[in-house]
Amino acid sequence: MLKNDRYIRAALSQPVDKTPVWMMRQAGRYLPEYREIRAQAGSFMALCTNPELACEVTLQPLRRYALDAAILFSDILTIPDAMGLGLHFKTGEGPAFEKVIATKADVDNLFVPDTFDKLKYVTDAVSTIRKALNGDVPLIGFSGSPWTLATYMVEGGSTKNFGKVKGMLFEQPQVMHQLLDTLAKSVTEYLNAQIESGAQAVMVFDTWGGVLSTQNYQDFSLNYMQQIIDGLHREYEGTKIPVTIFTKGGAGWLEKMAATGADCVGLDWTIDIDEAKRRIGDKVALQGNMDPCVLYSNPERVRAEVGDILEKFGKGSGHVFNLGHGIHPTIDPANVEAYVNAVHELSEQYHR
């Protein structure tokens, strides 16, 4: 039994006493205690693959702030790594793969990894975190979207122009569809395994869907998120499991996202939340959507921004307060405290 179920209720558009709040990347480099554990682990992947250390960094922000949810500490690229592509992280350059997907033969050789085998460190971390939380707040599991995973797999790492992955999309669309289908099956199995291990909600991060045109977004990103949603446990052991999808740069496609059957749609900061509520708020809950850079300012400015977003959403259920993307590594933790406290203090009036 959850002692604080605000996040679950809000994601399912049910009434709450206050607007729940958490942050994407809330367990991360902006916290000095995280940096200490990261140094102790020796590498980012060593941290991710150690369930006890992953549990520790998941819990760190909850010790500082009155957050309404924990999110599994992991990385979106664990699935390609489990497929044998050799994930590693270059200092100052981000993720990279030893093997790159460039041909149909490369795609043919991919397989759907057995999560409880190849990714057992993730399911072990989920069960360890769930036990450590002791029902205080819910645990969110997550994955990258098929399109986002494909961008890294084809590009070999981070990219600015997406030339290789878009080249494959346009030149070999059937090969791209084959890759995305394999990834969608993998993500579905992966998220269901997280749910079976203790995750009480799940989220799909479509970080790079916004680089696509409208038709290509539908065909090569959203359709595969739809496939995942259709295959997920929406209820487990008698409890509903909220599903959130988030596309960075996806403001133009909110109606299409809401039509997938997801419980909640994440918003970046490029759309006002009142407009999003007008367009899809009667169909799904909304998550978001403060610009993470507001946290570079000061507590008073942070509080004012929180108040503005809450006022724009207005009265009623179905709002999970969050940033419009992940928190930046150089943010002052004191401003995060101001952010969390402001959401709880200022939102009560909208739930009476």
Residue 268 near residue 15, CB atoms below 8 Å: no
pLDDT at 94: 83
92 marked as part of a ligand binding site: no
Q: Distance of CA 325 to CAs 18, 205, 248, Å?
A: 22, 10, 8
Classify residue 132: in a domain, yes or no.
yes
94 marked as part of a ligand binding site: no
27 marked as part of a ligand binding site: yes
The verdict on whether 63 is a catalytic residue reads no
Q: Distance of CA 142 to CAs 34, 180, 192, 214, 307, Å?
A: 20, 17, 10, 25, 28
Confidence of residue 297 (pLDDT cuts 50, 70, 90): very high
303 marked as part of a ligand binding site: no
Confidence of residue 1 (pLDDT cuts 50, 70, 90): confident
The verdict on whether 152 is a catalytic residue reads yes
Residue 222: CATH number of its domain = 3.20.20.210
Classify residue 311: in a domain, yes or no.
yes
Classify residue 232: in a domain, yes or no.
yes
207 marked as part of a ligand binding site: yes
DSSP labels, 246-288? EETT-GGGHHHHHTTT-SEEE--TTS-HHHHHHHHTTTSEEE-
Catalytic residue among 5, 7, 9, 25: 25
In this predicted model, which residue has the larger pLDDT, 271 or 89? 271
Three-state DSSP at 26 gives: coil
Domain extent at residue 70: 6-351
pLDDT digits (tens, 9 = 90+) for 17-41: 999 999 999 999 999 999 999 999 9
Residue 182 near residue 110, CB atoms below 8 Å: yes
Report strand pairing: 94-97 vs 87-90. antiparallel
**CA gyration radius, the chain:** 19
> How many domains, the chain?
1
Confidence of residue 205 (pLDDT cuts 50, 70, 90): very high
Classify residue 1: in a domain, yes or no.
no
Catalytic residue among 5, 9, 65, 75: 75
Sheet holding 70-71, edge to edge: 70-71, 139-144, 201-206, 243-247, 264-266, 285-287, 319-320
The verdict on whether 124 is a catalytic residue reads no
Classify residue 139: in a domain, yes or no.
yes
Classify residue 215: in a domain, yes or no.
yes
Q: Distance of CA 263 to CAs 32, 122, 201, Å?
A: 34, 24, 10
The verdict on whether 64 is a catalytic residue reads no
The verdict on whether 29 is a catalytic residue reads yes
Q: Which two tokens stand for residue 268?
A: 């970046």
Q: Which two tokens stand for residue 217?
A: 């977004």
**pTM, full prediction:** 0.97
